[in-house]
Structures are given as structure tokens and as C-alpha cells.
Amino acid sequence: MPREQRKRGKKHKAKNDALAGQVEENYQEDDYAVQEPSVIHYDQHDEDNSDPAAPFGHLDPDVKGYFRTVNDQLKQWQDEGIDTEVDTDMDPNEQRRIFFAAALSEMHNKELQLATDPECSVILERMLYSMDDFARRVFTDSLTGSWAPLITNRFASHVCQTLLTLAIDTVNREARGNVSSVLNDPEKGELLQMTQLILHNCEAILPDIIDLMRDQFASHVIRALLVLLCPSGVFTSMETHHSPSTRSKKSAHWRSKQGEMKSIIPAQSGSNSSGPVESVRPEAFMDMAKRFLNHILGTLGGNEVRALAIDKAASPLLQMFLELETYLKQADKPDSLMDHILAGLISDLHAGKELSSSAYVTTLLADSTSSHLAESLIKQCPTNIFEQIWNVYLVEDVAKRAIHPVANFVVSRAIARLSAEELTKVVERLKGTWSKCLKSSRLGPLISAFNRAGQLGASEIELLQVIRDIFELSDTTDLSLLIACVLRLKPCKEYQEALERKRQAEQEKPTDESENRGYRPHRGGDETNPLEPKIQGSLLLQAMLSLHTPHNEMVLDSLFAMEPSELLALACHPASSRIIDAVFESSTVNLRLRKKLVNAFIGQVHLLIDDRVGSRVADRLWVAADPYLKEKIARSLIPHEQFLAGSRFAKFFTRNLNLSLLKRNPDQWKSTKAKDGSSVNAIPITGPSKIPKSELKTESEIISTDAEKPEHISSKKRRKDVEPEDEIDILFSKAKRHKFSNLETSVEAKPKASTELNLDKSVLAAIEGAPRTTEKRVKSKKK
């Protein structure tokens, strides 16, 4: 029995199931296998095996121990990178190929057992990232014939999912004619291309696709398969937070703990490290996706489709089939998936019948599982269908649904598609509901209304009045309180009371002198603090900035009315700093006001770039600044050079500023910055990274290349005429001049260098690398 599964005490038969569940929970998901050329067609399924946890048999303990060693070595190489040097005469990449080929050879004829093993399945996933196209084809062929039991297995399903994800690059290369060559063995058969293997596996699971959609392990594999079969423009919502993902949140969280998975072998045969520029799919893939959709429509009726819509495993997959149906322009036809989900609304519309609401659809909008499907349906449906959904199911109960914990997301999605006339009616209809949305922190409909108003240019004045009403802001209220109240989602009176309580608590708290040595920007969030900025408040302010001028100036005036310390704290918080970004990203904000905001930070830029979040905001300020403001920003940092030298974040902003060049030659600094571009950093400011050697130029190199030089003076004579700038230059110039001469003679011949710099013979010898003489030093009369 493996050591990790041993338990103290007596065995209890009732605890066997709990123990097995604990082992599965400890392992959960991914790790991939790769394979050397193996027998092309074989089936290792043991029909007499009665253990459902190991449908293809158990692995030998020695084999599992070997693959643990392989996993440790792969993780080490993945952490080090592909360019790491190894203390051996062999090429490091060749050494890795030999090690990986040995692992593939050991995996031969054990693929199915490894894929279903709780521990080795993760190792297989890690190995898949280092496989070339040929090895992936061999591994895929080894799974052919057992695809259905594999994707329904808790551990093998993640192996299949990762294989399908990585197969996208292989299929794209095969579609372009880049196919890895292989010598077919008559005894083993012909090794098919990845495209053909995928189609054969799809044929195998096509009759059971409906049962697989309901399976909790197979459903996410079918999602990855649909992404592989369809072009990149089909699932447009895959990048949004509410769309179905190929991995669940639990799976993605567990996968993040396994470390980074990437290839350890660069420039593999038959593959490109950069990957294809444009995604290409064979026509047979799209035809297979249509066959999946037609099989569902031909097999299921309306009740069966509506049952899948509320199933936790099948609902995200049904959402993807709904997007595929919309892409094929079949959603607005009778008896389509969309028609079944809407309880025949499309069929009644085509038949000219009177439309009536359905209790199922009403429940669908408020269900935690199916509401995601309802959002996708509202986004994907044609305009005429959306108008009927809005009139039948949403417009009458929009006030009640806007404050519902689940249905408010559906309302937000629907408001994003309203016309200007309907938007005005909704704002008026929700006049008494906006304050309830604020109290319950469900501002999605209000944020969506501001974004839609910015797109249409309608109802902007009415929405600004909503902000004044729910936050209790009058004409005499301080302008700086607008951002403070909206950001904390508190009315003005409530915010001032919370601020007063905080001040009293700070006065009663004993002060520590070490805490008052200087200002330190805000480093993170405190959810227990009532004055902590909220994400929804930040999103609402960003939506307000999308309004047209002069309606968006309400937020900008509040920014300019804030104290410098408040403005600095705003820019250094992860949530509120996005407001500064929105000012520069919004196309409706006046350019004059952007420059005014940049000028508001001058004088405290040194504190801004000394923060993890603030340094990112400072780089955006630099990009938005004109040459005059850039010089002002740089000059404001000159008195704080020592402070910035010890900052871990400021160095990414200041290392290319050349402040010493600005102090010595401002004109030269301006021309240099004009050549560098708009950004102060040639690299991202989120963290340290390597700078190309070609870009590492010293200050003297910049001056020597750009300054005007007489042509008639030779380079040797010019170097002699130019005086060294400091004592270090004098020291090394003297040392280099006497490199090949006798040390004692050079010191006697040139006593001025050692006298002026207070250097003796032993110091010069140490600098030049010469052996230290044993003679006594000659004391100089002048020191």
C-alpha cells in the first residue's frame, strides 16, 4: 500500500469510501503523458477488470516511482528555463532530449494506466507540453478506441482535455502542410495525422454525446473539443468572465498550484515555438461540429433541452452549442435550441400567435446555474428576438429583478442592448429602485446604463441626476466628496460619519514615532475597513467617464478638487487606480483635462513611483504627457534621487530617465527622450526583466554619439585632449596607460597621479593586476 495512503489504527470498512475520496481530492486534475513511437493500433481495455477506479489496470509501484522522478526533473527544468547551462560537456538541450526519450520509452504500452492513475495523470500532462507533433500523434493514437471511458474518468479526463488544447497548434500546422514525417511499420499499421485521429474519436463519441454532456468529468472535455473543432470567431464570449470555460474554477485553482507547465525542449521537430500567426481549421472539423449540433436537435425535444439548461454540467456546454447555432444563423428558426430554451417563443413569433410568458423562462432568469445561459442567450439572439424577450419577460418586472441577487446580471446584460428610447424609459422606471441597488451593492444595472448612455449619447443628464440623488450630493456639496462617496458606495452623510469615527479612533490610538517617519502609499485592501474603496464603485466611476463632454467633467472636477494626499492614495490603490486609467483611455475626455490631471501629480511623482500600483499609473502619466510636462516630471524627481535609489519599484521608472544628463545638458536630454519614444520605460514596469545589451548605453556614450565633433581631429588625439570627468576616470586612465610598463618606473615617472589621488604603489598594482612589490614605499614630502 502506498505510504501516502496509510492510516494509523484499525481498518474500518465504512471509511474505505471516504479514504478513496480523500486520495482523489489530494490529486484532482492534470498531468500529461508523451510517447515514443509505439504500437499504432491496440486496445488495453481489460473487460474482466472490476475496479471502476482503474478501468485499465493498476500500475506497478516501481513504474510510479520512476515517473515521480521524471516529474521532479521536468519541474526543475521548467523553473530554470530552456537556456540554462548544465555542468557537463553534453549540450543541455540534447541531454534533455535523451532524458525525455527515455521517459517516452518507459511509457510505451502503459498510456491508459498512466492516464487513469491519480498521481501519474498529472505527470502525463506535464510531459505533453514537451512533446513534438509526432509524439502527440502517437500518444493520441494510443488512446483511440478507449476515448469514451477515458473522458468519463476523473483523472484521465483532464489528460484528454490538455491533449485537445495542445492539439490546436498541431492541427494548424497540418492544415498548412507542415506534417511530421513517419516511417510506417506494416506490422503496426499506419500512423494517422492528428486531424484524422480527432475525427475518429469524434465519431466514436457522437452517439453518446448527450450522456457525455451530463457527465461531470466528460463535459469539460467536450468543451475543449468544441473549441478545437470550431474557428476562433465562433465562441466570442470565451474571454469574458461570465462565459463557459474549458476548466471549472476548482480545476483552474488546483492547476495553478502545480506550477507552470511548458516545454523543456526548444525548437522541436515539426513544431514552432512561436506557433501559427493565424488559426486555421480543416473544413471537416466544422462539419463535425455541425453533426454534433444536429444530433442534439434531432434527438432531444423541448423538455429535454430545458432540462439540460438547468444541469450544472450540461448548461455551460449547452451555452457553447447556442453560440455555435447563432454563428450558423440558425438560432431564429423554429425548433432551434434557442426556441426550445425560450419555450417556443420563436415558433409563436413565426406563426403570428400572441406571445405569452412562460414560468420556465421566468425561473431561468433567476437560477444561479441557468442565468449564465440566459445572459448568453440575450447577447447572442437577433435584435427582433431580443425585443420580444425584453417586452415579455423583463420590462414589467425590471425593478424587482434589478435588485435580485442573480437576475440583476441578466438585467445588466439586457440594458446593454436597449435603444435610446427604451433606455430613457428604464431609467425613469427604476427611479425608486436605484437607492436599493446601492444599499444591496448590486450596481450592475446602473453601470450598464451609464455604458449604454455613453454609446448612444442619450439619458446622460438623467443618469447624473440619479448619482446626485442616491449619494445625497447637493449643489453646495464639496466636489471632492463625489469620488469619495461613489468609491465607497456610501451616501454623503454616511461617509462623513464613518470618516469622523475613523478620525476619533486614530486620536485615541497611541501614536508610534516609527510610523510617522514619512508617507508610505497604500499597499493593499482591507475588506473590514468601511472606508475601503470598492470595485463596484470604481467601475461606476469609470462608466461615468464614458459619457460625452461636458457630462463626464463631473468626475474630473471631483478629481481636481481632491487634496494631493487623497489623489496619491487614489492612484496607489488597486481598485481606484483604474479611474486614472479610464481618464486616459476614454475617447470622450478632453485633451486639456488629461494634461491638467498629469500636472496635478507633479510634486509627488517620487511617492507615486515608489508603489507597486502607483508605478504603473506613473508610466501612464508619462505616456500622456507632452515634452514640457515630461521635463517637469523629470525635474521634480531630481531632489529625490537618493530616495528613489533605494526603492524597489521606482528603479523601473527612473533607470532610463538620465537625470544627471538632464542637469548637465537639458537640450541633449530632450533630444534623447524624443528619440526614445513616448514611454519612459523600454520594458514593462511590473517587474525586473532583461534589457538587451544594445540598449544599455551609458551617459558618456550618448554624449559622444550625439554631440558635434570636429572631423579633422583624430580619435586618439581627441581622447588625449578631453579631460576625465572625475577621479575614477583619472585612476583607470593612468592604470591603463602604464599597463605594460614597469610598476616602479611608472610610479617614479608619473608621481603626479599617485600624489593627486593619494594613491601609492600597492594600490596601483592591485588595480592593474600586477604583483605587489616588496620594496618599501617612498614617502612623499607633499601629501
Closest alpha carbon to 199 in 164, 169, 231: 164
φ and ψ at residue 185, rounded to 5 degrees: -95, 125
Domain count, the chain: 2
Last residue within a domain, chosen from 283, 312, 330:
283
Round to the nearest angstrom and report the end-to-end CA distance of the chain. Answer: 82
Q: Is 448 part of any domain?
A: no
Q: Is residue 34 part of a domain?
A: yes
Which of 93, 98, 105, 99 lies closest to 74 in space, CA to CA? Answer: 99
Instruction: Report yes or no: 46 and 54 within 8 Å, Cβ to Cβ.
Output: no
Q: How many angstroms separate the CA atoms of 39 and 404, rounded?
A: 58
Q: Give the lowest-confidence range in 342-351, 560-569, 764-773.
A: 764-773
Residue 397 lies in a domain: no
Asked if residue 532 belongs to a domain, the reply is: no
- Residues 6 or more apart in contact with residue 527 via CB below 8 angstroms: none
Q: CA 625 to CA 585: how far, in whole Å?
A: 14
Domain final residue, candidates 228, 258, 283: 283
Residue 100's domain spans which residues?
A: 24-283
- Per-residue pLDDT of 419-444, as tens digits, reads 999 999 999 999 989 999 999 999 99
pLDDT at 36 over 50: no
The residue among 622, 681, 614, 694 whose CA lies nearest residue 653 is 681
| pLDDT at residue 648 greater than cutoff 60 | yes
**DSSP secondary structure string for all residues of 377-444:** HHHHS-HHHHHHHIIIIISTTHHHHHTSTTHHHHHHHHHTT--HHHHHHHHHHTTTTHHHHHHTT--H
Is residue 422 assigned to a domain? no
Residue pLDDT, tens place only, 691-722: 333 333 333 343 333 333 333 333 333 433 43
pLDDT-based confidence at 83, cuts 50/70/90? low
- Residue 76 has a pLDDT of 84
The answer to whether residue 202 sits within a structural domain is yes
Last residue in a domain, options 283, 300, 332: 283
Average pLDDT value over all residues in the chain = 77
Q: Is residue 171 part of a domain?
A: yes
Task: Give per-residue pLDDT as tens, 254-300.
Answer: 777 676 777 877 654 444 444 444 678 889 999 999 999 999 999 99
Q: Quote the percentage of the chain above a pLDDT of 70.
A: 71
Question: Of 361-365, 376-380, 620-624, 675-679, which gets the smallest average pLDDT?
Answer: 675-679
Sequence-separated (6 or more) residues with CB below 8 Å from residue 1: none
Is residue 277 domain-resident?
yes
